[in-house]
Amino acid sequence: MESEALIHQTNYLFNTLFLLFSGALVMWMAAGFAMLEAGLVRTKNTTEILTKNLLLYALAVIAYQIVGFDIMYQGNDTAGWIPSFGFGINATAEGASQSSNVDFFFQVVFVATAMSIISGAVAERMKLSSFLIFAIFMTTIIYPIEGYWTWGAGALGASIEDGGLGFSDFAGSAIVHMAGAVAALAGVIFLGPRRGRYTDKGAKPMPGANMPLVTLGAFILWLGWLGFNGGSQLSFTGIEDADAVAAVFVNTNAAAAAGALTAYLLSVVIYGKADLTLIVNGALSGLVTITAAPDSPTAIQAVLFGGIGATAAFFAIGFFDKIKIDDPVGAISVHGVAGFVGILLVPVTKDVTVITQLIGVGIIVAWVFAASTVFWLAIKYTVGLRISEQDEYLGADISECGLEAYPEFSSGNSKNIR
Amino acid sequence: MESEALIHQTNYLFNTLFLLFSGALVMWMAAGFAMLEAGLVRTKNTTEILTKNLLLYALAVIAYQIVGFDIMYQGNDTAGWIPSFGFGINATAEGASQSSNVDFFFQVVFVATAMSIISGAVAERMKLSSFLIFAIFMTTIIYPIEGYWTWGAGALGASIEDGGLGFSDFAGSAIVHMAGAVAALAGVIFLGPRRGRYTDKGAKPMPGANMPLVTLGAFILWLGWLGFNGGSQLSFTGIEDADAVAAVFVNTNAAAAAGALTAYLLSVVIYGKADLTLIVNGALSGLVTITAAPDSPTAIQAVLFGGIGATAAFFAIGFFDKIKIDDPVGAISVHGVAGFVGILLVPVTKDVTVITQLIGVGIIVAWVFAASTVFWLAIKYTVGLRISEQDEYLGADISECGLEAYPEFSSGNSKNIR
Amino acid sequence: MESEALIHQTNYLFNTLFLLFSGALVMWMAAGFAMLEAGLVRTKNTTEILTKNLLLYALAVIAYQIVGFDIMYQGNDTAGWIPSFGFGINATAEGASQSSNVDFFFQVVFVATAMSIISGAVAERMKLSSFLIFAIFMTTIIYPIEGYWTWGAGALGASIEDGGLGFSDFAGSAIVHMAGAVAALAGVIFLGPRRGRYTDKGAKPMPGANMPLVTLGAFILWLGWLGFNGGSQLSFTGIEDADAVAAVFVNTNAAAAAGALTAYLLSVVIYGKADLTLIVNGALSGLVTITAAPDSPTAIQAVLFGGIGATAAFFAIGFFDKIKIDDPVGAISVHGVAGFVGILLVPVTKDVTVITQLIGVGIIVAWVFAASTVFWLAIKYTVGLRISEQDEYLGADISECGLEAYPEFSSGNSKNIR
């Protein structure tokens, strides 16, 4: 075999194996979100949220395969605003450094992540079918279009030389996480809080039913995130790639650790207790924060960034409760606020200005919020967003799925909790 | 180093890393089956099914190491019917493209999968020791012999030019999944249904006790299946291999997604509810269906095939209940019926006839059913298959394991359920 | 590109991908310990042990990054006793075969494992903050110093030619597992047993609350251990490496299987029941045993070694209960006793004497026990080790975390169990 052909083949094999490995880790995050959310809701809404997570993953895979991937990546103009439109996954181009299938596989698990974020925020009161309809819009239109603007080489992500803004978001603090959070925020606004959540005496705690599931979900997400950020190097063909991916693994891990410890310290200082759900959200906030630039910081910077993001999200959780934005799992704070912090921290380690980052994130947020509003309202005034008052009281498991999550465990405290 | 030796070494390293990665994913499926089954039985039989899953994996690993692997793969005639017989794992042959240890590691996790399938179908009433005795026969005789006929280059799997049938089953829709389902079917026939399951008023629902476990199991299996199907390419040394594996990942993921959505739609249309257990079985049915040929379909075909397999399994679950084949987890429908559909769909994308596929699958099914019958009956009339009526009433956890699965959670509804 | 540079690059890529894959598997073990331990304690202490596992991982990552890694590996004398001292992760050296970041990533997940072992043994009565203070000492001083002596090329691990002892511990039966167990033993001695555990009538069973979690934890650890032992080859650049890693995967899997089956047989013979917790500990004991030399045995030897280690741990669990060392999860037996067996079995397959192994393990144990004693006592006489009697009665979840693990599941049997 010719030497050059051999080098090309070796690169092709490394890229493919690397992206399959990374993609498998990201796919696993779907399980992480499912477990996290199932542990954070009450027993009576557990089957429904599990069903939702399984179906949103399935739906995202197929919707993104049919049109989303094409809109985001295939056949678009550099630095443009309007994506081209087509179907399916193109054939691998002559001389490509990996098959288009492995590109697709890695990207499709990202769109599912964006969708998973929404699922938690609207838990315990949204109709399953309404959520799934929104999932179609999110995965075929909202996410692919802003994804084209950024990762698809459109107007935001293209370099300044190529006529773009030069917005920098390595693995998606804004493109994936804030996008999910903003769509969720719009949803929660039109959906309203869970009944009984906000009383005259303030927000009533509605504790999650299963802490081991919450912790399992956190560990799954932590593991999967190594692939989420590491795989976003997208190439594994030289020593620079290998070094970058190794740094990403170290930094991602460090930021999560710092986020967890920060939330622990804040929780102990402020509440006198080590609140597991806050600690889990701290770890996740660290992960979201580092996602914007996991390749360029030193490990110590990653620790600092994780801590800063977790602090912001920690206080945001309280803030959203104060303004009666009812987010049962804290998704808007963790993915939105920490994601925003991550975007603003990119200039510390990369050659991009804060202004550029603010413009980029502003446009993404405006688009996602506006488009989500349109779709949420369209659903609200057609099929409706919310389950009935009685169904909410009895739990979405019965009304939506006809199946209790734990039929044999009596809900001793359920009267207090309902 | 000589150029040719270097190429050989690079290939060797890619093959090994690829098969270790794939094998690790398949090993993880053992956890998936354990969680799935533990969530689908009632609390009183949960410890027993967990114990069974852990032990069947352990037993399969050792039994296959001692004789099964040799019968299936080592030193056999091409296109033959009678395998040779020997012990252990042969030394790596001179010039081989990977070590025999990595071959063994990838294959041993398959035999455990076949065995896991049986475990669910006979749940809640079989003696643990009887099950383990059957596991020895399955992993040393039943599976390795039909495995030799097919993947071991025996009479069914060898190409027509080599004097074989040319039966095509890429990753084991029939060889692993139907084999497990057929052995399970024979077991269930001789074991009988759970007491109280079939009454004058029809089948009494005995809902699974823990839906988060069911969902976790489904996600684990979904993830592990990427390695199950992807690794079955068995080689990762050229661009064609990389493309094939990438296509397998995309198609496997797509078929599972389509299976889940299909079952959701059927469940909503027929029962008016999004039944989580049916949706999980839909996803798994999609996976079983695509397993026969995950490399050759387009992604759209994979969606269609997953949907067809899930539809067949969906109705099969009802059918088996009607004929009083009591399969608590739906394993016979998911792995048997969807596996059969998958085998029949191979000719759509590969150069093989339906007749060839029917002959192949017919011989596998006949062998597995006949041999399983012999072994199940031998066990039945010696140590017995079933736990006593009282033990079944109180639960296998106490009688078999002396340990409750959830000793502190009162079983509020257990009287209704028992 | 020059041929030599190309070979170096290919090696670099293989090493990096191999260590990222292995490290991801080991990171996953943190989740395994969390699930295992959460399932083995009573409901009232479940949130606390989950919190502890999440925080110990976070703390280990950051503490090891700041000083532990440097003490253990960077800039030390060969065959020395006193490590050098510095901060952070050094830049990758010129001509290195992988980046220092990937070295760090793989090693950092090991220190977390050592710490996880301790967590289980002191469960249900230690203060969370006291545990975390000890974790700082363990991850920055105790483990890195003995780690330098052995893997860091210090006096124990260096070869005899280099002036060292030539102690052999491939993946850490002593260096990681016994170290964790010995630190745990010292902690348990100064902490004392759970109240009510040892009565005049002998040890009172305090059954774990959630068997599916125990089993999930076991499967996670089993999977992660493939990376723990496999990755310890540390290099993946030639056929010999590939063969070694493949052998490690097969042997690790076989030893775990043998451990599980051995514990099953012992449990059935001695107690008449298949006790799931003993079987899980059998599998883990097999894993700990093979860890000292997973690369050199044949697969049959691995089966025997796993069985021997599991037998020793099986009886050790009863022994420690007899001498009132209260270890709720059996960690001291599984990681300490089976680890010791593993170290003593190394001479069967490797060129090292039993005397060498005994000296090495003796020094490690003496150091870890002495240093742990100092730190545990320092904590005991300052902030204290134990939660109050009332907090222990009500559960650490309320006093430490302010959060129940399962707030809606009534604890039907809790009066009997408390």
Closest chain A CA to residue C67:
A300
Closest chain A CA to residue C27:
A223
Burial of C379 (0-12, 13-18, 19+ CB in 10 A): buried
Return the closest-CA partner of residue B80 out of B157, B170, B169, B161: B157
Give the burial string for B159-179 (b: 16+ CB within 10 Å, else e): eeeeebbbbbbbbbbbbbbbb
Phi, psi of A51 (to 5 degrees): -60, -45
Percentage of the residues of chain B whose pLDDT score is greater than 90: 93
Please tell me if residue C409 touches chain A, with a CB cutoff of 8 Å. Answer: yes
Please tell me if residue A50 touches chain B, with a CB cutoff of 8 Å. Answer: yes
Please tell me if residue A34 touches chain B, with a CB cutoff of 8 Å. Answer: yes
Contact C246 B6 (CB under 8 A): no
R_g (Cα) of chain A, nearest Å: 21
**Cβ-nearest to B226 among A24, A51, A410:** A24
ipTM at complex level? 0.97
Average pLDDT over residues A140-157: 96
Please tell me if residue A28 touches chain C, with a CB cutoff of 8 Å. Answer: no
Burial of C8 (0-12, 13-18, 19+ CB in 10 A): middle
Q: Which residues of A touch B237 (CB under 8 A)?
A: 13
Three-state SS at B209: coil
In the predicted structure, residue A418 carries a pLDDT above the cut 60 = no
Neighbours of B19 (CB within 10 A): 27
- Write out pLDDT tens, residues C119-149: 999 999 999 999 999 999 999 999 999 999 9
Q: What DSSP element (H or E) covers B22? A: helix B3-40
> Whose structure tokens read 């190429």?
B7
Please tell me if residue C219 touches chain B, with a CB cutoff of 8 Å. Answer: yes
Q: How confident is the model at residue B413 (pLDDT cuts 50, 70, 90)?
A: very low
Q: Give the span between the Cα atoms of C359 and C365, in whole angstroms.
A: 10
CB proximity list for A231: less than 8 A, separation 6 or greater: A18, A19, A21, A22, A23, A25, A26, A106
Q: Give the span between the Cα atoms of C223 and A348, in whole angstroms.
A: 39
Please tell me if residue A406 touches chain C, with a CB cutoff of 8 Å. Answer: yes
Neighbours of C381 (CB within 10 A): 10
Q: Give the span between the Cα atoms of C334 and B365, in whole angstroms.
A: 43
The greatest distance separating any two alpha carbons of chain B, rounded to the nearest whole angstrom, comes to 77
Q: Give the span between the Cα atoms of C418 and C415, in whole angstroms.
A: 5
CA distances from C187 to A295, B368, C127 (A): 40, 55, 12
CATH number (3.40.50.11890, 1.20.1280.290, 3.20.130.10, 1.10.3430.10) of A9-409 reads 1.10.3430.10
Please tell me if residue A338 touches chain C, with a CB cutoff of 8 Å. Answer: no
**Cβ-nearest to C403 among A246, A253, A277:** A277
How far off is chain C from B16, nearest CA to CA, in Å? 6
Three-state SS at C402: coil
Q: What DSSP element (H or E) covers A317? A: helix A299-322
Three-state SS at A198: strand
Residues 90-109 in A contacting B (C-alpha not used; CB under 8 Å): 92, 98-99, 101-102, 104-105, 108
What ranges do the domains of chain C cover? 9-409
In the predicted structure, residue B411 carries a pLDDT above the cut 60 = no
pLDDT of C412 reads 44
Contacting subunits of C (3+ beta carbon pairs below 8 A) = A, B
| Pair C55, A264: CB distance under 8 Å | yes
Q: Give the span between the Cα atoms of A143 and A148, in whole angstroms.
A: 8
Contact B105 C249 (CB under 8 A): yes
- Write out pLDDT tens, residues C218-227: 999 999 999 9
- Write out pLDDT tens, residues B120-155: 999 999 999 999 999 999 999 999 999 999 999 899
Contact C105 A414 (CB under 8 A): no
Contact C211 B46 (CB under 8 A): yes
Three-state SS at C203: strand
CB proximity list for C161: less than 8 A, separation 6 or greater: none
Return the closest-CA partner of residue A103 out of B270, C191, B299, B60: B299
Please tell me if residue B247 touches chain A, with a CB cutoff of 8 Å. Answer: yes
Reported residue count of chain B is: 418
Q: Give the span between the Cα atoms of C313 and A42, in whole angstroms.
A: 40
- Beta strand pairing status for C198-199 and B202-203? unpaired
Q: Give the span between the Cα atoms of C121 and C142, in whole angstroms.
A: 18
How far off is chain B from A151, nearest CA to CA, in Å? 21
Return the closest-CA partner of residue C35 out of C213, C257, C194, C222: C213
Contact A212 C35 (CB under 8 A): yes
Most A CBs within 10 A among B41, B253, B413, hence the mutation to make, goes to B253
A235-244, B227-236, C401-410: least confident range: C401-410
> Whose structure tokens read 């030069």?
A166
The angle at the Cα of C18, spanning C15 to C23, to the nearest 5 degrees, equals: 115
Contact A105 B7 (CB under 8 A): no
The interaxial angle of helices C100-121 and C128-137, nearest 10 deg, is: 140
| Pair C218, C280: CB distance under 8 Å | yes
pLDDT of B329 reads 96
The greatest distance separating any two alpha carbons of chain C, rounded to the nearest whole angstrom, comes to 77
The greatest distance separating any two alpha carbons of chain A, rounded to the nearest whole angstrom, comes to 77
> Helix (H) and strand (E) counts for chain B?
17, 2
Residues 342-361 in B contacting C (C-alpha not used; CB under 8 Å): none
Return the closest-CA partner of residue A343 out of A307, A289, A263, A397: A289
**Cβ-nearest to B223 among A27, A34, A410:** A27
Please tell me if residue B413 touches chain A, with a CB cutoff of 8 Å. Answer: yes
Q: Give the span between the Cα atoms of A316 and A310, in whole angstroms.
A: 10
Phi, psi of A409 (to 5 degrees): -95, 115
How far off is chain C from B21, nearest CA to CA, in Å? 8
The angle at the Cα of A343, spanning A339 to A344, to the nearest 5 degrees, equals: 120
User: Within 13 Å, how many C-alpha atoms sit on residue C287's CB side?
Assistant: 30
How far off is chain A from C46, nearest CA to CA, in Å? 8
pLDDT of A75 reads 82
How far off is chain B from C237, nearest CA to CA, in Å? 7
DSSP secondary structure string for all residues of A323-360 = TT---TT-HIIIIIIHHHHHHHHHHHHSS--HHHHHHH
Return the closest-CA partner of residue B293 out of B238, B341, B332: B341
Q: How confident is the model at residue B75 (pLDDT cuts 50, 70, 90)?
A: confident
Q: Which residues of A touch B43 (CB under 8 A)?
A: 408-409
Return the closest-CA partner of residue A145 out of A200, A31, A68: A68
Q: Which residues of A touch C23 (CB under 8 A)?
A: 249
Q: What DSSP element (H or E) covers C202? A: strand C202-203
Closest chain B CA to residue A224:
B223
**Cβ-nearest to B245 among A6, A16, A27:** A16
Q: How confident is the model at residue C418 (pLDDT cuts 50, 70, 90)?
A: very low
The interaxial angle of helices B276-290 and B299-322, nearest 10 deg, is: 120
Average pLDDT over residues C367-387: 98
Q: Which residues of A touch C50 (CB under 8 A)?
A: 211-212, 214-215, 276
Neighbours of B39 (CB within 10 A): 27
Return the closest-CA partner of residue A384 out of A193, A184, A133: A133
Return the closest-CA partner of residue C227 out of C29, C15, C53: C29
Reported residue count of chain C is: 418
Q: Give the span between the Cα atoms of B291 and B306, in whole angstroms.
A: 10
Please tell me if residue B179 touches chain A, with a CB cutoff of 8 Å. Answer: no
Phi, psi of C386 (to 5 degrees): -110, 145
Q: Which residues of A touch C413 (CB under 8 A)?
A: none
Share of chain B residues as helix, strand and coil, in percent rounded to the nearest 5 = 70, 0, 30
Tokens of B25: 């994913």
pLDDT of B415 reads 39
**Cβ-nearest to B61 among C218, C257, C268:** C257
- Write out pLDDT tens, residues B77-118: 899 999 988 899 999 999 999 999 999 999 998 999 999 999
pLDDT of B241 reads 97
Please tell me if residue A72 touches chain B, with a CB cutoff of 8 Å. Answer: no
Contact A273 C401 (CB under 8 A): yes
pLDDT of A76 reads 86
**Cβ-nearest to A211 among C20, C47, C89:** C47
In the predicted structure, residue C416 carries a pLDDT above the cut 50 = no
pLDDT of C39 reads 98
DSSP assigned state of C44: G
Task: Share the mean pLDDT of chain C.
Answer: 95
| Pair C13, A236: CB distance under 8 Å | yes
- Write out pLDDT tens, residues C192-234: 999 999 998 889 999 999 999 999 999 999 999 999 999 999 9
Contact B410 A410 (CB under 8 A): yes
pLDDT of A202 reads 87
Q: Which residues of C touch A239 (CB under 8 A)?
A: 9, 12-13
Closest chain A CA to residue B263:
A55
Please tell me if residue B239 touches chain A, with a CB cutoff of 8 Å. Answer: yes
In the predicted structure, residue C1 carries a pLDDT above the cut 80 = no
Give the burial string for B244-271 (b: 16+ CB within 10 Å, else e): bbbbbbbbbbbbbbbbbbbbbbbbbeee
How far off is chain A from B232, nearest CA to CA, in Å? 15
Tokens of B114: 């076949």
* Residue B73 φ/ψ region, left for φ over 0, alpha for ψ in the -120 to 50 degree band, beta for the rest: alpha
**Cβ-nearest to A216 among C24, C35, C402:** C35
